[in-house]
Chains A and B, each alone.
Chain A
Amino acid sequence: MPKEPDWGENSLWHLAIQNYYPRILNFVYYLTGDRYLAEDIAQETFARAIDKFHQLKDPNRMFSWLVSIAVNLVKTHHRTKQRTVAMPELAHHIPALPQDEFFIDMIERQEIQKLVQDAISQLSSQEQKIIIMRYYLDMKEKDIAFALKVTIGTVKKQLFRARSKLYNDLGCLAGGEGEEK
């Protein structure tokens, strides 16, 4: 039985869960499209991280390290279950409709989000991860490289390619021409 970590108010793991758990949860959710699976993998990510914390060489990279554990767990899940990567169904997560005057705006926003998710789901598995890490988790290229265990050059190349594809699909939605230079 591993030594149980300290869960005090200011303990490392309490703060880590408070700050990182929701982001890891959403990251996994974007990759799997399954909320319950995302919760399971996010909790497993922290369980593994606590167990293998001694392997983390640079504490400043804790978040990237957690993301890399989550990525591996998602990979393992896909390998074993042969699931296809699907983006989440937004309709399940829209909160109760707001007041009538915002209704139209809400529907439009919902449609745009659905199109964004559809466009992302057309990317390769690696490109999806990179886009979500970059634009949802707001991670720097070097941190993405660390989490995916690839070089920064690879991240740059794949990020550029993925972003170009998205721009072609979504540029017009966001007010652009739909073709990136």
Chain B
Amino acid sequence: MSPDQFDEFLSKSLQNSEIEFNHPISEIEQLIIEKMARNQAHKKKRQRRILNIAVLVVALLAFSGTILFPGPLYAFKEQLIQTIIKFGNNININFTDSSPRPHLPDKLEAEIAAIQPGVPFEILVPRYLPPGFEFAGVEKSPYDEQCKIIMYFQAEDAALMLTQTEIGDNFALSVNINAQQGKAEKIQVGGYEGNIITFNDGSVSLTWITDGHILCELSGNLNAEQAIEIAVSM
């Protein structure tokens, strides 16, 4: 048998055994339309499932990030909040940051808890620290007449001191500085008026009064932006 004959034999054999098809076309079209609708519903269901999984993964990442990297994540969150606040201020929207207090390092939390009962005001804690700085200690000054809380923060080659002092109603914030040592300027710290002194050696001192009766002073080896950021985070 020639190849052509064999090809014909194969074609005929297959065509002879084909199944009968006698459905009206309209019926097939209807079935196809139903399939399209079903496929579309499945597609939407699949998309919803993917979205749910994505949300779950993001939530898990956020949760594990909070557990494993609390510092960087917290700094990032703070920066984000400050950016939003600054943006809000720029477009004349006033709002307060009502986020809950951060989970403080155990040592700081324990020390603040220990001295808080003897302090007539709520001790403020910065929720932002420049990279490298860590809490070193907190104490109630035994030398001052008014209640004064001093917090220390340290980095590898820098240090910060933050004091909070109870003041009377008639206290007026003023600055005296030798112009050759640095320069002073008035700033706004989270809605309160403050003064910042930038010294020639690179250190700064930031002073402001919160709620009308707590004088806060922040000084150390950092730049003015970082100092303001710490102050705003309290």
A positions within 8 Å CB-CB of B: 1-2, 4, 7, 13-14, 17-18, 21-22, 25-26, 29-30, 35, 38, 43-44, 46-48, 50-51, 88, 90, 93, 95, 109, 112-113, 116-117, 131-132, 135-136, 138, 163, 166-167, 170-171, 173-177, 180
From residue B138, how far is it (CB to closest CB) to chain A in Å?
64
- Docked-complex contact A112 and B13, CB < 8 angstroms: yes
- Docked-complex contact A35 and B19, CB < 8 angstroms: yes
- Docked-complex contact B13 and A17, CB < 8 angstroms: no
- Docked-complex contact A43 and B32, CB < 8 angstroms: yes
Number of interface residues of B (CB under 8 A): 29
Residues of A within 8 A of B31 (CB): 43
**A113-B13 contact, Cβ under 8 Å, with A22-B21, A93-B20:** yes
- Cα A138 to Cα B14 in complex, Å, equals 11
- Cα A126 to Cα B99 in complex, Å, equals 63
- Docked-complex contact A135 and B1, CB < 8 angstroms: no
Q: What would 10 more interface pairs be, CB under 8 Å, given A26-B18, A47-B36?
A: A44-B35, A46-B32, A47-B35, A48-B39, A90-B17, A113-B16, A131-B10, A136-B18, A174-B1, A177-B1
From residue A136, how far is it (CB to closest CB) to chain B in Å?
4
> Looking at chain A's contact residues, is the secondary structure mostly helix, strand, loop, or mixed?
helix
Task: Tell me which of A1, A17, A46, A135 contacts B40 (CB under 8 A).
Answer: A1
Residues of A within 8 A of B36 (CB): 2, 4, 47, 50-51
Nearest CB to that of B36 among chain A residues? A47
Q: Mark B1-16, 1 if CB is under 8 A from A, else 0.
A: 1010111011101111
